[in-house]
Amino acid sequence: MTVVIGSTDIHDYGKEMIKAMCNAAGAKVFDLGTYVTPDEIVENLLETESRAVVISTYNGIALSFAREVVELLAKNGLQAQLILGGLINENQDGGSLAVDVSEAVKALGVNTDNRMEDIIPAVRAAYQA
């Protein structure tokens, strides 16, 4: 079982927690670090064949980011499950405040359960799918 992890911004606390949990669960973790881009995720999936990508986000870009990752996964014929955690929000409809976009992200097929204790089962599920 291998997992690609990263964060969309400078905040890496959540990513480090996920890394520790995945390591403890016996997964091989490929840590892309902070400020990861959708392209980087897909290129690394092509190299690792990981079925799960766990991304931590905090900077109000959750929906745009998830949408681009999902599009790139489809374009490259990749089956990996995107698991997005942290602050799943983004400005919507020209508003000046970021709002929760969990449902919209979930509708893309992304796991937005956002619970640390559910991460490992979700990664395992990606390998059983």
Partner 1 sequence: MIPKDLPNQVVLIDFGSTYTKMAVADLKTRSLVTADHFPSTVATDARLGLEQCFQAAKKAMGEKAFRASMKLASSSAAGGLRMGVIGLSRTLSIAAGRNAAFGAGAKILKTTSGRLSREDMEELAALPLEIILFCGGYEEGGTKVLDHNIEMLAQSRLPMPIIYAGNSRAAPAVRRAFSLSGKEFYVVRNILPDVGEVDKVQVENIIRDVFLNRIINMKNLDKVAAMLDRLVMPTPASVLRAGELLALGSPSREGWGPVMLIDVGGATTDIHSYARPAAYEGAKMVGAKESFAKRTVEGDLGLRESSNSLMAEIGLAEAAAETGLKETEIQAVIERWLDDHDLLPVTEAEKKVDRLLARGAVHISARRHAGRIEHISSAGVKSVQHGKNLTEVKAVIGTGGPLIFSDNPVAALGSALRKPELEPDVLLPAQAGFYLDRDYIFYAAGLLREIDEEAAFCLMEKSLKGVA
> Which residue ranges make up the site for partner 1 (CB under 8 A)?
2, 7-10, 28, 30-40, 42-44, 46-50, 57, 59, 61, 64-65, 67-68
**Of 36 and 119, which CB lies nearer to partner 1 in the complex structure?**
36
Least distance CB 35 / partner 1 (angstroms) = 4
Least distance CB 7 / partner 1 (angstroms) = 8
Least distance CB 22 / partner 1 (angstroms) = 13
Nearest to 32 by CA among 12, 61, 49, 17: 12
Kindly give the interhelix angle for 38-48 and 62-75, rounded to the nearest 10 degrees: 40
Distances (CA, A) of 18 to 44, 108, 113: 18, 22, 14
